[in-house]
């Protein structure tokens, strides 16, 4: 079997954001191995031998617009991977970088996506429970312009208090809401997201600091370990653990997959779901755990 043919990315035009580091860098390495023509975007310089790199700050509408003007006219796969951690005071920037700017970029490029193209986002296990904010997310998604969306954020400060979580939940809501939208489905454009668990990347330091109530890196690291790893005696993922499945989902291997939010977390969030469902059936967590021993 010809593996490159299986992926169907050889000679295809691919745009990937966040490619200077972490998961998107790992994905870009694989895309290059598969023979894709890679257009890579990041706020930082990109070291990989891509066809073209674009150094842009995707928290700024003007720079996103510049990028849109410079990107190719025909695109086969779009991977939106850039992201930042949340700190007190940067709640709105987190919404733009981690969600709204990605939505805006996708929709501005939609006409240039070929039929059967793919759009694949990196959300997060932090977006778990996105169903609870779905109606708010749809209200935001339905804002007609960038300025109206910014106003929506300004007038809903309570919604964006959970900054990182809300942005990632909006991304998952977007995938669910748009997969059958005529603008996507009429041309069979697939839209999916992956939800990584704890992964050692360029963001790890910031995540540790932002998780600790006092900004203490060590304390935050311990808290992250307790939330994401302790229950299954687990270990953090590598960028490749996320970047490679991301490429698979955006490739022809997953040609019939759309509207999916795939958790890549060794089952952690499925276990959270299991515990919650059993709890709803009046079982205590202690009962459930003792039954599982
Ligand atoms: N690392 C984790 O544990 C983890 C877990 C779940 C989800 N994620 C998500 O994975 C995605 C990839 O992050 P990563 O963990 O590989 O981190 P990373 O820092 O290694 O990569 C993120 C990239 O985004 C770029 N970026 C940040 N702000 C930007 C901006 N304004 N304009 C353009 N580029 C910008 C950075 O320069 C960086 O190269 C992010 O969306 C992140 O939220 C990470």
Question: How many angstroms separate the alpha carbon of residue 156 from the centre of ligand 1?
Answer: 25
Give strand pairing partners of 17.
41
Q: What is the mean pLDDT of each run of 10 residues along the chain (293 residues)?
A: 95 98 98 98 98 98 98 98 97 98 98 98 98 98 98 97 97 98 98 98 98 96 97 98 98 98 98 91 62 54
For position 123, what pLDDT does the model report? 98
Binding-site residues, ligand 1, Cβ < 6 A: 18, 20-24, 42-44, 57-59, 81-84, 97, 122, 124, 196, 198-199, 201-203, 207, 239
Q: What is the pLDDT of residues 110-145, one digit of tens each?
A: 999 999 999 999 999 999 999 999 999 999 999 999
Nearest CA to ligand 1 atom 42: 83
Q: Distance from the CA of 271 to the center of ligand 1, in angstroms?
A: 26
pTM: 0.96
| Helices within 142-216 (DSSP H only) | 146-155, 163-178, 182-185, 204-211
**What are the structure tokens assigned to 222, written together?**
């311990």
Report residue 52: phi and psi, to 5°: -150, 140
Checking phi first, is residue 122 left (phi over 0); if not, alpha (psi -120 to 50) or beta? Answer: beta
- pLDDT of 280 reads 74
- Say how many Å lie between the CA of residue 285 and the centre of ligand 1: 34
Domains of the chain, each with CATH number or no CATH: 3-203+236-266 (3.40.50.720)
The answer to whether 87 and 210 have CB atoms below 8 angstroms apart is yes
Report how far ligand 1's centroid is from the alpha carbon of 293 (Å): 37
pLDDT, one tens digit per residue, over 34-81 is 999 999 999 999 999 999 999 999 999 999 999 999 999 999 999 999
Atom of ligand 1 minimally distant from the CA of 202: 20
The whole-angstrom distance between residue 148's C-alpha and the CA centroid of its chain comes to: 23
How would DSSP label each residue in 48-112? S--SEEEE--TTSHHHHHHHHHHS-S-EEEEEE-------TT-HHHHHIIIIIHHHHHHHHHGGG
Using CA atoms, how far residue 48 sits from 70, 82, 97, 153, 185, in Å, is 19, 16, 23, 36, 33
């Amino acid at each position: 079997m010809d593996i490159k043919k299986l992926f169907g990315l050889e000679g295809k035009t691919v745009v990937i954001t966040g490619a200077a580091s972490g998961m998107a860098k790992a994905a870009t390495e694989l895309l290059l191995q598969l023979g894709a023509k890679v257009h890579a975007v990041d706020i930082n310089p990109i070291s990989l031998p891509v066809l073209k790199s674009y150094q842009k700050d995707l928290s700024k509408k003007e720079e996103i617009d510049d990028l849109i003007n410079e990107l190719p006219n025909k695109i086969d796969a779009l991977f939106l991977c850039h992201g930042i951690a949340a700190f007190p005071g940067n709640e709105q920037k987190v919404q733009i970088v981690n969600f709204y700017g990605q939505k805006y970029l996708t929709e501005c490029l939609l006409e240039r996506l070929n039929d059967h193209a793919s759009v694949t986002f990196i959300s997060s296990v932090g977006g778990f429970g996105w169903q609870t904010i779905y109606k708010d997310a749809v209200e935001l998604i339905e804002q007609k312009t960038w300025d109206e969306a910014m106003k929506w954020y300004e007038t809903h400060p309570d919604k964006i208090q959970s900054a990182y979580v809300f942005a990632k939940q909006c991304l998952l809501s977007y995938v669910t809401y748009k997969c059958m939208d005529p603008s996507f489905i009429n041309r069979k454009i697939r839209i999916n997201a992956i939800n990584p668990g704890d992964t050692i990347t360029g963001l790890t330091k910031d995540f540790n600091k932002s998780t600790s109530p006092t900004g203490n890196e060590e304390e935050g690291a311990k808290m992250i370990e307790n939330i994401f790893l302790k229950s299954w005696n687990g270990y953090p993922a590598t960028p490749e653990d996320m970047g490679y499945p991301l490429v698979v989902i955006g490739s022809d291997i997953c040609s019939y997959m759309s509207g999916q939010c795939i958790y890549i977390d060794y089952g952690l969030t499925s276990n959270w779901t299991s515990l919650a469902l059993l709890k709803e059936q009046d079982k205590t967590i202690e009962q459930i755990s003792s039954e599982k021993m």
